[in-house]
Structures are given as C-alpha cells and as structure tokens.
Structure 1
Amino acid sequence: MKAFQFVEWQRPGQLREVPVPEPGPGEVLIKVGGAGACHSDLHLLEAPAGSSSVTLPFTLGHENAGWVEQMGSGATGFAPGDPVIVYGPWGCGLCMNCRQGMENYCQTAGKPSPGGLGGTNGGMAEYLLVPATRYLIPLGRLDPREAAPLTDAGLTSYHAVKRSLHLLGPGSTAVVIGAGGLGQMAIQVLKALSGATTVVALDTSPDKLTIAKQMGADEALASGDDGITRIKDITGGQGAEVVLDFVGIDPTLATAARVSRVLGHITIVGLGNAALPVNFHSPATECSVASPFWGSIPELIDVIALAQRGKIKMLVEHFTLDQAAHAYDLLHHGGIQGRAVITPHG
C-alpha cells in the first residue's frame, strides 16, 4: 500500500510503498478515509536529528477516521464497514489515568505513543493498524473524510475549553488567540457549551478573522494594541475570564498576559515554543496558567456527539495521498484556512 512517511530528519515526508499491516489479537485494521495534517507533524519533520525518540521511517498521520476493514482475533464491538474515528494518544490502558480514559496523560514511561506522532505508524496511508478497540468511536452518519480532524483539532480545543467552563457564564468573555483550525473549533465549542459568553478572536490574517466570525465569534480583531484595547473595553477594564492561545509565540503570550483577568485562566495550546513570564505583576493576580495535552476518550465521545448534532464542524480541504507533500508545504506557508485532510481512498 502507499504511505506518506517521515524518512529523514529536517526533510519533507515521502510517499513510499509499505506492506499492508495484519491485525494481531485484539487489534483492528482500519481502511483510512481521512487523515489530518497537523502543525505538530511540521514540528516533528523540521526538528533536528536526536530531538525526538522516534525511530525512522514511520508513517505520519495522527488525526484518523475511516471504516473497519478487519478485526483481529478476540477483538469485539465493531464489524467490517463500520465508520469510526480513532482516538490518538495510545497509553498503557492500566494506570489510573488510563483507566479513567485519560490516556493522553498515561503515567507509564514512554507513553502515550500516538500513531503517526510518537513513532508508531499513523494513518496517512491506505490502511491503519489500531492496537485496541477502545480507541475506536462510532461516527454514525459523519463522513470520515470530514470528521478526521475532530480527533485532535476538535478534541484538543474541546479539552482546553472544558477545563475553564466553570468560569464562563452570562457577562463573561473568552479570547481565542489564533483563528486557524484549532482556534476555529474552539470558537464553536465555546458557543456550544457556553452560549452566554462573549467570544473574541484575535489573528493577524484578515481571511481567518472573517472565518472566525462565520464560526460564531462575537468580535474578530486584528492582533496588536488596538485589539487589546478593544478587549479591555468589552470587559470594562477587567480582562477576559478565559484566554486560549493557539499559537504560543512571544507576541501572543504577551497578549494573553495583558488581557488576562484576576482569577482567570490562560491556556497555552500552540506549539510556538515561546515562554510566558510569570511573576507578581503579570499575568493578572491568581490567574491560572496551563498547557494541556490533547484530551480524554470520554471527551472525544462528547466531541463526536456535538458534531453529530451539527453544533461543531471542521473546515477542511481535501488532498489525495499523492498530494500529501503539497498539503504540508501549504500548511508550512500558512496556506490552509482550516485543516488539510489526506483522503487515501478518494
């Protein structure tokens, strides 16, 4: 089968021929409908040799959805042809966090090991081997080609919002910094879970700000001093209860600190590798700062339920497997408005 693989450090991925995997006991073979291309992949592809423990080559793609192709011996709960989405961060399944569905926070050394991100082969191929049925969630009528990014872009945004949901009510304000794929999803999740919250989107791209308004943002502002002033006006000078930074570079983190509120939350989701200075004077007094990772299996079930009810929808651009390298090039240069999805079966 064809697979788009990470072959050489600091080099673009390559389309290669690899064997179709055979499902062993408890495993499931998935016919891939859609595999999302993520900025996390770019960080991995562009990293220097030795900066990660992954063994090359391996197949990229950690946002995966498709149809059950074959069940390994002892695997139950699904049948060939069932449309499913694949939970990404694979843990040990036995520690306390895993037993609560939080395999993203597995306590076993070397885990989680996400397919397509942690060294295990991912779904940017015609078929994907999934180690256990607990990682599969039924899609119902959702199209795997459209739903694939929900397993990361959707889940990560949902988890980031949900941790702060108790702060959001009538009169509250949430600021979403970065209106790309994850930011667009966060806007929709905020509206779905706390419709009384004023949602403000910040970005440097006019096109993305237009999309942010279409996704439900009450205000879509250009990043910079004027945007910060407007947020202060909206909040009566108090700042926002919740600030979600989906970029993570020095200017966006500085903005997050400036618009934070006493007893508020700043959540850093973006992988920009900058640092947020925290001291007595900034961010606002007793403002909590966290950098969450992905989300839990129960939260992905929630995300799929929201999508099935039409409350959230990812803006996607489809590419064939042969176009995967082009999709990553567009992603690298900011040419993807929502999420690029590779569709190995058309």
Structure 2
Amino acid sequence: MKAAVITAPGKAVMRDVPLPEPGPGQIRVRLEGCGVCASNVTPWQGPEWMTYPTEPGALGHEGWGVVDALAPDVSTVAVGDRVATLFTHSYAEYDVGAADAVAKLPPFLDGRAFPGEPLGCAMNILRRSDIQAGQHVAIVGIGFLGALLTRLAAQSGASVIAVSRRRSSLDLATRMKAAETVAMEDHGAVVARVRDITAGRLCDRVIEATGKQWPLDLAGELVREGGRLVVAGYHQDGPRTVDMQQWNWKGIDVINAHERDPGMYIRGIGEAIEAVAAGILSPEPLYTHRYPLARLGEALDATRDHPEGFVKALVMMS
C-alpha cells in the first residue's frame, strides 16, 4: 500500500509498505480519507521531542473508510461495513486497529466525508461544558472545532459570543449562529466588549479552542464568577502559566475537555452522527480544502498557515 512518512520537519514522502494485517481483536480498514488535525502542526514543524522518520501513516487519526479484513475473533463489525475510526496511522491507504475503536456509519452518510474523531470531540466538549439555555457562552478561537461548538452551543439555547482573529472566522461564526462576534486583536478591548454585551456579568461558560497562551489568558478574564472555563484547545508546545489568583477569586470550574477513553470517543462519534442526521450539524461546508495523499505536506502547510477561507483540510485516498 501507499503510506505517507514524515522524514524531517516540513518534509513528507510517499512510500510503498506492506499491507498491515489485523491481529487479535483488530480489523483493517481501506481508508477513503483522513482529516488533518491542528495537533499535527507542531510535529510537522519539528519540535525537539519529535523523532524522524515517522512510522508509515503516523499522525493521521481522523480516518474513515470500509472494513476489508478482520481477525477471526471479531464479530461486532463485518467486511464491507463503512466506519469512522480512531486508528493512528491513517495517512495511508489502509490502517488497522481495535474493532471497538470504530463507529459504524449509517447509509445516509454514504459517499460523504466523515472524519469522526474531531466531530466526536466536539460532542464530548459540549457535554463537558454543561451549556444551558439562556447562558452567555464565549468561544475563543473559531477554527473547525470552534465553529462546530458555536453551532452546538447556539442549538442548546445559549447566546454565543465568538472571539477570533480572522474576519473570515468571525463571519463563519455568524453563519454558525453566533449572537455576537468580537475581533481578537486587543486584550483589553475584547474584555470590555464582552462586558458590554453581557451587561457587566461576563460569561457563564468560556471555551478556549486555540491551544495558545494568550487566548487561555483571555478566556480566564471572560468567565464570570462561579462560571466554567473549558479548555478545548490542544496545548502541546510547552508549559502554560495561569493567573491562579484570578481563578481562585472568581471561584470558577476549570475543565480539561480532552478525552482519552476510546469508549468516550466512540460515544461522541455516535452523538455526532445523530446530530448530522437531525440537521443540528452540517459539517461539509467546513471541509474547505481537500488534497490527495501524495500532497499531505501541502495539507499540513495549509493547516498551519490558514490560507484565505481555510477551515479544515481532508486528505482523500482516491
């Protein structure tokens, strides 16, 4: 099969490698595509903790495709089932993994891209955020995840304040039913604007969805006393500092909304499927850039650089 290998910072090559065989409890999936996660950007840039070359297909973890082989002890899925996976080497034509680390895709999704992992992640963050109707909810960072959460929070009856740098991101948040948008340019100006919108009360829930220091600082200022700060961004480029005095004084709940239990991820993917079926989520317009596997490097560059109109890149296998 063909698989992508990252051989050095900013360099991806295609290699012919043996077709993987499923071991006990595993299945093999012929991949149709794989989403490109923002968490790939740091390994792509070459942090000191990264080693090269990667294993074939490594970093790709947002795959979907069709089951084409399974171990004799697997009975939960069958050859021919279309699934979203939690496998971790999906920048390749095939990937293998545990049979319980997939979610079956219903017929209404036939022919449609479905990177289940990030869609399930959004549903899990929504659950951990405990958003209620009538609340003011600020979402700091409107990329793919922030856009999904804007839609989900608005659908829950909250008044969403979207905070982001790019004008196109703020326009996207409006389309996703944000009640207000605030340009993330000047720290004090953002806080003042949110105070004005909320009549001085600040926000019941604030979701930080960037994985960067300054937006995390900003999120702490935007949450009201007794509110909830939800860390949805993936912080992987070094330690963070927090204003603990501020957090103590406000008496806020701080939630790390990242899940590691595969069962919780599969639950989230199932909820995402239901949300798409119900018309609550329509993620297709967010898949703005598609690349063949041989152009994975370009997909990773776009995910890093955010060209005009960029929201989410998909790598397609055919």
Structure-2-length-normalised TM-score: 0.88
1:139 to 100, 105, 119: 105
Give the C-alpha shift of residue 328 in structure 1. 0.9
> Are 1:285 and 2:226 an aligned pair?
no
Paired AA for residue 207 in structure 1: S
8 Å contact kept, 1:29–1:71:
yes
8 Å contact kept, 1:145–1:341:
no
> Are 1:56 and 2:59 an aligned pair?
no
Paired AA for residue 245 in structure 1: E
8 Å contact kept, 2:13–2:294:
no
* Cα pair distance change 1:261/1:144, threshold 3 Å: farther
Match of 2:5 in 1: 5
Paired AA for residue 161 in structure 1: L
Match of 2:174 in 1: 213
Give the C-alpha shift of residue 333 in structure 1. 0.9
1:151 to 102, 110, 117: 117
Match of 1:342 in 2: 315
* Cα pair distance change 1:321/1:187, threshold 3 Å: same
SS in 1 for 2:302: helix
Cα separation, 1, equivalents of 2:219 and 2:292 = 38
* Cα pair distance change 1:321/1:33, threshold 3 Å: same
8 Å contact kept, 1:33–1:145:
no
Match of 1:125 in 2: 92
Paired AA for residue 297 in structure 2: A
Paired AA for residue 196 in structure 2: D
Match of 2:146 in 1: 183
8 Å contact kept, 2:5–2:13:
yes
Cα separation, 2, equivalents of 1:309 and 1:143 = 16
Cα separation, 1, equivalents of 2:146 and 2:248 = 22
> Are 1:168 and 2:168 an aligned pair?
no
CA offsets 1:311-341 (integer angstroms, 9 cap, x no match): 1132112211122111111111112622111
Paired AA for residue 271 in structure 1: Y
8 Å contact kept, 2:12–2:297:
yes
Match of 1:306 in 2: 275
SS in 2 for 1:176: strand
What aligned pairs does 1:227-266 form with structure 2 within 5 A after superposition?
A: 227-266=190-229
* Cα pair distance change 1:145/1:341, threshold 3 Å: farther
Cα separation, 1, equivalents of 2:277 and 2:53 = 37
8 Å contact kept, 2:26–2:74:
yes
* Cα pair distance change 1:53/1:76, threshold 3 Å: farther
Gaps of at least 5 residues in structure 2 are none
Paired AA for residue 229 in structure 1: A
SS in 2 for 1:156: helix
What aligned pairs does 1:86-125 form with structure 2 within 5 A after superposition?
A: 86=85, 88=86, 115-116=87-88, 122-125=89-92
Cα separation, 1, equivalents of 2:191 and 2:18 = 53
Paired AA for residue 57 in structure 1: E
Cα separation, 2, equivalents of 1:53 and 1:162 = 35
* Cα pair distance change 1:168/1:294, threshold 3 Å: same
Paired AA for residue 252 in structure 2: C
Paired AA for residue 289 in structure 1: V
8 Å contact kept, 1:263–1:284:
no
* Cα pair distance change 1:211/1:218, threshold 3 Å: same
CA offsets 1:20-65 (integer angstroms, 9 cap, x no match): 112233211111112011111112232434x258983331310011
8 Å contact kept, 1:4–1:124:
yes
8 Å contact kept, 2:126–2:153:
yes
Paired AA for residue 305 in structure 1: E
Cα separation, 2, equivalents of 1:202 and 1:15 = 39
SS in 2 for 1:254: helix
8 Å contact kept, 1:64–1:85:
yes
Match of 1:222 in 2: 183
Q: How many residues align?
A: 304
Percent identity reads: 23
SS in 1 for 2:113: helix
Cα separation, 1, equivalents of 2:140 and 2:248 = 16
Paired AA for residue 169 in structure 1: A
8 Å contact kept, 1:257–1:284:
no
Gaps of at least 5 residues in structure 1 are 89-114, 117-121
- How well do the aligned residues superpose, as a CA RMSD in angstroms? 2.2
Cα separation, 2, equivalents of 1:302 and 1:143 = 18
8 Å contact kept, 1:7–1:13:
yes
Q: Higher helix fraction: Structure 1 or Structure 2?
A: 2
